[in-house]
Amino acid sequence: MVTAPDLALLILASFRVTHLIVFDTITAPVREALRRPLGPLITCFWCSGFWVSLALFLGYVYLPLVFRPVVIVFAIAGGQSFLEALLRYMQSLGGKER
């Protein structure tokens, strides 16, 4: 059974892993190499998000010793992404630069 805190971890981790695959610069070479065979699966946030979510969920449920630490690390990174976006938004409202 997946609890509410588990679900929160999975949501944040899924967001971060999907963003890493679809948008982050560090994965651009891999994304370009896989663009032709995988198409939207690697470039569409919604498409990738479903499969990433499914993989993380199944791993979390059936291989928790392996997936739980991975999910926690990516959930922390996902939470940090949201905090950074919130900070940038608040700074844009106040007209302040970093």
Q: What is the pLDDT of residues 32-90, one digit of tens each?
A: 999 999 998 999 999 999 999 999 999 999 999 999 999 999 999 999 999 999 999 99
Residue of higher predicted confidence among 2 and 98? 2
Q: What is the per-residue pLDDT across 8-36, written as a single tens digit (0 to 9) for each?
A: 999 999 999 999 999 999 999 999 999 99
Q: What is the pLDDT of residue 17?
A: 97
Using the CB atoms, write b or e for 7-34: b if 16+ within 10 Å.
eebbebbbbbbbbbbbeeeeeeeebeee
Q: Which residue ranges make up each domain of the chain?
A: 4-94
The two structure tokens encoding residue 47: 């498409």
